[in-house]
Structure 1
Amino acid sequence: MKFKQLGIGLAAVVFFAACSNQPKTEEASKVDPTEVSTPSENTKSLSGKGKIEFEEDAFDFGTVKEGEVVDHVFEFKNTGEEPVIISAVSASCGCTTPDYTKDPVLPGKEGEIKVAFNSEGQVGTQQKIITVSSNATNKVTTVQIKGTVVKNK
């Protein structure tokens, strides 16, 4: 029993000693503190003066057979004065998969939201909302795809 307690105690000492002895790398010591930006500097440089303007805010895919996948690209332009950074894009249904421009969109430049709608199990009239969140003046914008899915016979 004493050996078991001694083993547990020794293991605890080794564990705690190992946790506090993290090796320092050369890279960490090379960082010049005057070159590190602070969070206030970063947020100050992007004060939300970018603006997203979509060429179209809705796409009607018409009538498709159940099981077909409908793809569409919503293009937008930054008509503001600062870069627009998209932080998230989500769809109102798991059957709709969005992908989007990850890089900052500079003023006057364009970005895109690609949407794929899988019509499997979605028979009937469809309207799917895609929500775009960003640092723009219009922080949350939406686009939609709509149409009708008919049963595949």
Structure 2
Amino acid sequence: MNNKVIGFAALVFVLMAVSCKEKDQFSEIKIDEKNNMVIANDVVTGEVTKIKTTMKPEDYPQIEIENKGEFDFGNINEGDKVEHVFKFKNVGKKGDLVVVDARASCGCTVPEWTKEPLKVGESGEIKIVFNSAGKPGQQSKTVTLTTNTESGHELIKFKANVIPKAK
């Protein structure tokens, strides 16, 4: 009997959570008519969600990242903090380019980026700082950019050969 009550209570809780999620999923919703998209903050995760409306492919902003978004630090010593600045440009035909978020594939990398909308032809930067402490050997990392481009995301890749500390 006790298991039935607990099971029923759990079912009711899940159903309430799902129904509330649909109604109150976003705490803040902004409509960006210029870039034809909706930007919202998720109540539960706090993450920014971008919901695009239907546009022709040529109407989306386009991003061009120098060196195709790849960089090689070469050999570095374990414990070194190294940084690189990727330059990027809005090469689309219309619409402002917005980099909404930048997330590294691990906690050893911290990205900082231009957050202001970039008009066609304007440039911005993404600085990555990689902390090689405790990361000996060949390292390959990525930073995922959430953008208002047609794909909605772009990847930046970097690698380094981290020389272990002498013992």
Same fold (TM over 0.5): yes
CA–CA separation in structure 2 for the residues paired with 1:45 and 1:119: 41
**Runs of 5+ in structure 2 lacking a partner?**
1-28, 37-58
- The percentage of aligned residue pairs carrying the same residue is 38
CA–CA separation in structure 2 for the residues paired with 1:152 and 1:64: 11
Matched, 1:101 2:90: no
Q: Which has the larger radius of gyration?
A: 1
Higher percent of residues as helix = 1
- Aligned with 2:147 (options 134, 143, 147): 134
In structure 2, the partner of 1:76 is 88
- Aligned with 1:58 (options 64, 67, 70): 70
Give every structure 1 segment of 4 or more consecutive aligned residues whose post-TM-superposition deviation is greater than 2 Å.
Answer: none
Amino acid at match of 2:126: I
CA–CA separation in structure 2 for the residues paired with 1:112 and 1:139: 18
Amino acid at match of 2:98: I
- Secondary structure of the residue aligned to 2:71 is strand
CA–CA separation in structure 1 for the residues paired with 2:151 and 2:71: 21
Q: Residue by residue, what CA displacement relative to the aligned partner does 1:117-138 show, whole Å, maximum 9, x if unpaired?
A: 0000000100010100011223
- Aligned with 1:44 (options 19, 33, 37): 33
CA–CA separation in structure 2 for the residues paired with 1:59 and 1:105: 23
- Secondary structure of the residue aligned to 1:45 is coil
Greater relative contact order structure (CA < 8 Å, 6+ sep):
1
In structure 2, the partner of 1:28 is none
CA–CA separation in structure 2 for the residues paired with 1:137 and 1:112: 20
In structure 2, the partner of 1:152 is 165
- Secondary structure of the residue aligned to 1:74 is strand
Flag the 1:108–1:77 CA change in 2: closer, same or farther, 3 A: same
Amino acid at match of 1:73: V
CA–CA separation in structure 1 for the residues paired with 2:151 and 2:64: 9
User: TM-score, with normalisation over the residues of structure 2?
Assistant: 0.65
Kindly state the Cα deviation for residue 85 of structure 1 after the two structures are TM-superposed. 1.1
CA–CA separation in structure 2 for the residues paired with 1:44 and 1:97: 31
Kindly state the Cα deviation for residue 95 of structure 1 after the two structures are TM-superposed. 0.2
Alignment RMSD = 1.6
Q: Residue by residue, what CA displacement relative to the aligned partner does 1:53-91 show, whole Å, maximum 9, x if unpaired?
A: 101211000011100011001111100111011111000
